[in-house]
Structures are given as C-alpha cells and as structure tokens.
Amino acid sequence: MSRLSLILQLLIRKSSSLLWRFYFGIVYRPSFIYFGKKARIARPMKIEGAQNISIGSGSIINTNAWLGALPLMEGVEPRLVIGAVTYIGRNAHIIAIKHVNIGDKVLIADRVYISDNLHEYYNPNIPVMDQPVVIKGEVEIGNGSWIGENVCIIGTRIGKNCVIGANSVVTSEIPDYCVAIGAPARIIKRWNKEKHEWLNEEV
C-alpha cells in the first residue's frame, strides 16, 4: 500500500472522528441522564435511549458500540449505568430493558454482549423475532472487575474485582473476587483473604 493511501486513510479516519465528536457534543451528549467529565464515546454503531443512560466521569467506550436502554416492558423504566473510569472495548453490545449497572474502573475487552433480557421463545409457532422481549434478570458488574474478549453476560451479577475469561458465557452469579471461565462460566479461582492468594477452586 502506498504512503499516500495510508496518509489518506489516516486523514479520513481523523476527520470523521472529529466530525463525530462535534456532532456528539451538540446532539447526543445533552440527551444522556448523565455524561461525566472527560467521559468519551468513540464513534458508535447505535445508541438507543440515551435519556436512560448514564456514563460516569473518565469512562471510555471504544468504537462501534451498540448501547440501548429501551422501555420495552410496560411500567418499567430502563437504566443503563456505567460508572466512572470504566473502559469498554470495541464492538460492545449492551442492552438494558430494566437495569444494567456496570461499576467503576471495570475493564471490558472487545466484542462483549451484556443484557438483562432475552427474546421470549415459548411459542414454537411464532418466529422468535416476533415474540416479546422479556426481562431475564438485572445485571451488575462490580467495581474493578475485568471482562475478557467475546464474553456474554446475560441477566446476572458479577461481583467486585472478578476476572471473566475470554469467550465465557455468564448466566449465573459470580461473587466478589473470583476468576470464572467457560460456557457456562464456572469459578476456577477465589481470592483467599487469610492466605492472601488466589486459590484454585476444588472440583
């Protein structure tokens, strides 16, 4: 690839990201419940329901995110809360119809799916896409946790300072200070306060 082509690519990327920042500042930013100081969303794929989304100071959401906080259940006010100084990688897909709460200083790698809901599938005679979306369970991710690449977190809670290995599917609760891996995610290590070390989980 020629040097000119590389320079052009860089210029296009830079100018479109500047355009996005300008547009975001005027159109999007004021519509969030809260958008903290020095928080940043790089060019997203889609943001739905910004009026139900709060993003804490210093948090960064990298490119191509799809964020949604949608009032799909009657009488339920959706909330997607992202704490302070949290980092969310590229291509994140995070959807709340009731409550998704991501804490402070959470490190989230690329391509995660986090949601408190699922498509109902009780009637096999109706295409799933035509069946209602229902609440599976509120999602919490505790302060200081690390979520690896390609992780799915569906309707459950993860405690403080947990580590969730790449490609895991988390559908049941992970308490504070645990390492969990796999689909479905299982705990493989816990922090032992007395011994001051991570101990392997007995199998």
Ligand X SMILES: CC(C)(COP(=O)(O)OP(=O)(O)OC[C@H]1O[C@@H](n2cnc3c(N)ncnc32)[C@H](O)[C@@H]1OP(=O)(O)O)[C@@H](O)C(=O)NCCC(=O)NCCS
| Positions in the binding site for ligand X (CB under 6 A) | 107, 109, 148-149, 163, 165-167, 179, 181-182, 188
Nearer Cβ to ligand X, position 127 or 184? 184
Return the number of the residue (97 or 178) whose C-beta is nearest ligand X: 178
Least separation in angstroms between CB 198 and ligand X: 7
Contact call for residues 102 and 121 (beta carbons, < 8 A):
no
Question: CA-CA distance, 20 to 144, in Å (whole number)?
Answer: 30
Q: Which of 49, 46, 92 is nearest to 73 (CA)?
A: 49
CB nearer ligand X, residue 21 or residue 186: 186
Residue with smaller CB distance to ligand X, 91 or 131: 91
For ligand X, the closer of residues 131 and 167 by Cβ is 167
Best CA proximity match to 142, nearest among 157, 159, 154, 165: 159
Shortest CB 148 distance to ligand X, Å:
3
CB of 21 to ligand X, least distance (A): 24
Distance, CA of 82 to CA of 60 (rounded, Å): 10
Q: Cβ of 124: how many Cβ atoms within 10 Å?
A: 7
Alpha carbon separation from 166 to 109, 136, 145, 186 (Å, rounded): 9, 23, 13, 13
* CB 183 to ligand X: min, Å: 8
The minimum distance between CB 80 and ligand X, in angstroms, equals 21
